[in-house]
Amino acid sequence: MLLQQLVNGLTLGSVYALIALGYTMVYGILELINFAHGEIYMLGAYLGIILLGFFTAIGLTSYSLSLSLILTFFLSIIFCASYGFTMEKIAYKPLRKAPRLSPLISAIGVSIFLQNYVMLTQGATDKVFPHLFETSTITFMSVSMTYLQFFIILTSAIVMVFLRLFVRNTKIGKAMRAVAQDKIMASLVGINIDTVISVTFIIGSGLAAIAGLMVAMYYGLVNYYIGYIAGIKAFTAAVLGGIGSIRGAMLGGLLLGLVESLGASYISSEYKDAYAFIILVLILLMKPGGLFGKAELEKV
Amino acid sequence: MARLNWKRFKDERKNMNTVPGEKKKEKFFCIKPLVVALWFALLFLPFNGLRAALILFAVLSISIIFFKFLFSYKNIVIERLQAFYNKIRATGLFSAPSVHIVRSLSLIFLFIIPFITTDYLIDVAILAGIYIILALGLNIVVGFTGLLNLGFVAFYAIGAYAYAILNTRFGLDFWSALPFSIGLTTVAGFFLAIPALRLRGDYLAIVTLGFGEIVRLILNNWDSVTMGPNGISGIAPPVIMSVSLGKLSYYYYFVLLLVILTVFVTRRVYSSRIGRAWVAIREDEIASSAMGINTTIYKLYSFAFGAFWAGLAGALFAGKMQFVSPESFTFMESVLIVSMVILGGLGSIPGVILGATILVILPEILREVQLYRMLALGGGLVLLMIFRPQGLLGGKGVSLRG
């Protein structure tokens, strides 16, 4: 029972971690809580359904299922990255010099806009993810794990390793870290800040798209408001790990997933969504820097 | 965080390549608009389908080219408009009437509304009144003190549920339940303010949001007290001197009087010592604490006083609807109240009243397109932040500092 919940929590947690990475990278660079990030995740889930439906209609899924799945992932990531990129250009870029709360309110506006856009175009009812393949389970010491769960955990792990390598070793990754440390200094040494910010949004949105697709497969149901609650939870994960820290977001996500699935099975499943908020409030009160971040002093 | 002057920085970089004074000629006047239109059409493609995307592409490209064309004649257009405006002003017909005349005329109008309109419009007016009280309460926290509260609906919910439970379970009437209801919300405001003392702007916003969600989840799940998602029905409307206010027009006057009371009290408090301390905290917290203002205690006051009005509005809402359920107290409601305050103008009392009125009445007028209400609200918030962050009637001095 405990081990089973751990596996479920790990699956959920790796999805939270993927979304949390988007929050934490944007916050690290812009000091902006990108409230609309959860909606990108929701768009990713919807895109999966739409694209797979399209591929089924043109007969690609019956020709080659794996090819259509790969194409779905690829296209969803590209579309979500474009949404993220455009969102930044329209809603956040003009407000870069504005007081801190303006971009936050603008982000809330984007979030409401996207939610209602999807509701209007796709309907307010649950959408079902096409059931294309049977998932068999692996059973090991009375713990059963579906291949899908295994796939989710594995994919998240691979993506996170790649992200870490990217941020550590590539030129643009180094530029990202430089901008996160000091924007002016970075621009003085010749880093194009606009490009870095765009890249951050593109990567974050791509990760959210992967998370959205995997969740849509896992639960099989998608709705236009899933982005809000997932966004808040992922934000909690990012804060838990220390916002701005990539490693923190990964661990925070896993931790939150574990807490949630253990809490739902041992305490009360009715308040499943409240655990994230309670953790969020407690963390901000007791250790605002998070587990891996450092507390910031406000400067004059 | 020091700021770099981005625009100047960019301009200078551009000027390096071009001779100053010489305007760079654009070779392909139409290419960029077409690319932009194509980009947006592609973005809308998966959700709207091919046909809508094509239409969007056509409309967007034509309108962008048109506006670009118009924009190149910007100076001439502005000149013409200025001349037109001057001509109109010279006639003297549209000179602004004095504040007193406007105020007394609108008061008279508000008092005769029940005689000249239908029940439906009175209903809308009552709702607008309740939202004005709510928005004025939130304005104390967001507008005066500069603390963004995204969970304000929680106080509204606590006020409404407190009256609902006291009335249906314990048989208390409106007037004896009201002190409890308002008191409870004020205490809740105090409790929420404790984290507010330690957090900066955007973190505070998220914590208040979390508070709002926790309250809603409790209302939804604590079946034995709140009846869960079914809500509480059969709440008695208030009674004044054995006259029940169940009739719409009576309730309208009741709400109107309370709105006037709210405006009066918040105005007085705003210009008092406390109000000035709030404004000082909003403008610069560190400087104000250096000037000897106890920022902790004044933030507490701000939260509690804002919550006070939310409690009143909640009780009024429960009394009017005679039914409460968690459905009415979602995060969207919080965003709606925040939008009212921001749309009208942070910190400006007439602005907040205007904002609340617009956001209640507009969806009623635009019934046919009500589906697009929230879509427009979202887009509107973004545009407002970009083009007019101080709101419709907000002054220049008010800022959204975090």
Q: Where are the domains of chain A?
A: 2-286
Mean of the pLDDT values across residues A228-241?
87
Min distance B312 CA to chain A CA atoms (Å): 26
- Are the Cβ atoms of A120 and B372 closer than 8 angstroms? yes
Q: Which residues contact B127 (CB under 8 A, 6 or more apart)?
A: B320, B360
Mean of the pLDDT values across residues B373-396?
82
Strand partners, A127: A222
Neighbours of B392 (CB within 10 A): 16
pLDDT for B402: 41
Residue A124, token pair as written in the block: 């307010």
pLDDT for A299: 44
Single out the residue of A27, A105, A228 nearest to residue B402, CA to CA.
Answer: A105
- Are the Cβ atoms of A274 and B382 closer than 8 angstroms? no
Q: How many residues does chain B have?
A: 402
A108, closest residue in chain B (CA to CA): B378
Does the structure show a pLDDT above 90 at B131? yes
Q: What are the phi and psi torsion angles at B227 (to 5°)?
A: 65, 15
pLDDT for B6: 61
A300 confidence band (pLDDT: 50, 70, 90): very low
Cα-based angle B66, B68, B71 (whole degrees, multiple of 5): 110
What is the DSSP secondary structure assignment for residue A287, as one 8-state letter?
Answer: -
Which CATH number applies to A2-286? 1.10.3470
A274 close contact with B: CB closer than 8 A: yes
Residue A170, token pair as written in the block: 């590539």
Which range in A274-283, B19-28, B372-381, B385-394 is most confidently predicted, on average pLDDT?
Answer: B372-381
A233 close contact with B: CB closer than 8 A: no
Mean of the pLDDT values across residues A10-39?
89
Neighbours of B36 (CB within 10 A): 13
pLDDT for A295: 52
- Are the Cβ atoms of A96 and B6 closer than 8 angstroms? yes
ipTM above 0.90, yes or no: no
Does the structure show a pLDDT above 80 at B54? yes
Single out the residue of B152, B129, B169 nearest to residue B308, CA to CA.
Answer: B152
Q: What are the phi and psi torsion angles at B359 (to 5°)?
A: -70, -20
Does the structure show a pLDDT above 80 at B302? yes
Alpha-carbon gap, residue A186 to A197, rounded angstroms: 12
Lowest mean pLDDT among A125-139, A180-194, A259-273, B205-219: A125-139
pLDDT tens, residue by residue, B268-277:
998 899 999 9
B391, closest residue in chain A (CA to CA): A102
B310 confidence band (pLDDT: 50, 70, 90): very high
pLDDT for B100: 77
Chain B environment of A228 (Cβ under 8 Å): 331
Mean of the pLDDT values across residues A196-225?
90
What's the gap between Cα B376 and its chain centre?
14
Does the structure show a pLDDT above 70 at B21? no
Give A 237-266 residues with CB within 8 A of chain B.
Answer: 239
User: In this complex, which of A47, A91, A271 lies closest to B46 when CB atoms are compared?
Assistant: A47
Q: Which residues contact A218 (CB under 8 A, 6 or more apart)?
A: A11, A15, A148, A149, A152
Does the structure show a pLDDT above 70 at A210? yes
Give A 98-127 residues with CB within 8 A of chain B.
Answer: 98-106, 108-118, 120-122
What is the residue whose two structure tokens read 């007791």?
A286
Characterize B280-299 residue by residue with b for buried, 16 or more Cβ atoms within 10 angstroms of its Cβ, and e for exposed.
Answer: bbbeebeebeeeebebeebb
Does the structure show a pLDDT above 60 at B27? no
Mutate to test the interface with A, among B36, B191, B385 (most CBs of A within 10 A): B385
A245 three-class SS: coil
Calculate the average pLDDT of chain B.
82
Q: Is there a contact between B165 and B340 (Cβ–Cβ < 8 Å)? A: no
Lowest mean pLDDT among A145-154, B3-12, B334-343: B3-12
A99, closest residue in chain B (CA to CA): B401
Single out the residue of B72, B80, B87, B89 nearest to residue B33, CA to CA.
Answer: B72
Domain boundaries, given as residue ranges, for chain B: 29-81, 124-387
Does the structure show a pLDDT above 60 at B398? no
- Are the Cβ atoms of B400 and A284 closer than 8 angstroms? no
Does the structure show a pLDDT above 60 at B399? no
- The second-level CATH assignment, the architecture, of B124-387 is Orthogonal Bundle (1.10)
pLDDT for B308: 93
Strand partners, B239: B244
Does the structure show a pLDDT above 60 at A124? yes
- Are the Cβ atoms of B378 and A115 closer than 8 angstroms? yes
Q: Strand B243-244 relative to strand B232-233: parallel, antiparallel, unpaired?
A: unpaired
B108 close contact with A: CB closer than 8 A: no
B1 confidence band (pLDDT: 50, 70, 90): very low
Cα-based angle A205, A208, A209 (whole degrees, multiple of 5): 90
pLDDT for B265: 93
Q: Which residues contact A276 (CB under 8 A, 6 or more apart)?
A: A232, A233, A236, A256, A260
SS (H, E, C) chain B: CCCCCHHHHHHHHHHHHCCCCCCCCCCCCCHHHHHHHHHHHHHHHHHHCHHHHHHHHHHHHHHHHHHHHHHHCHHHHHHHHHHHHHHHHHHCCCCCCCHHHHHHHHHHHHHHHHHHCCHHHHHHHHHHHHHHHHHHHHHHHHHHCCCCCCCCHHHHHHHHHHHHHHHHHHCCCHHHHHHHHHHHHHHHHHHHHHHHCCCCHHHHHHHHHHHHHHHHHHHHHCHHHHCHHHCEECCCCCEECCEECCCHHHHHHHHHHHHHHHHHHHHHHHCCHHHHHHHHHHHCHHHHHHCCCCHHHHHHHHHHHHHHHHHHHHHHHHHHHCEECHHHHCHHHHHHHHHHHHHHCCCCHHHHHHHHHHHHHHHHHCHHHHHHHHHHHHHHHHHHHHHCCCCCCCCCCCCCCC
Does the structure show a pLDDT above 70 at B19? no
Q: Is there a contact between B149 and B205 (Cβ–Cβ < 8 Å)? A: yes
Residue B89, token pair as written in the block: 């002003």
Lowest mean pLDDT among A180-189, B91-100, B341-350: B91-100
Q: Where does residue B177 rank: exposed (0-12), middle (13-18), buried (19+ CB within 10 A)?
A: buried
Q: Which residues contact B18 (CB under 8 A, 6 or more apart)?
A: B24
Taking each helix axis as running N to C, give the angle between helix A2-30 and helix A37-57, from 0 to 180 degrees, rounded to the nearest 10.
110
A145 three-class SS: strand
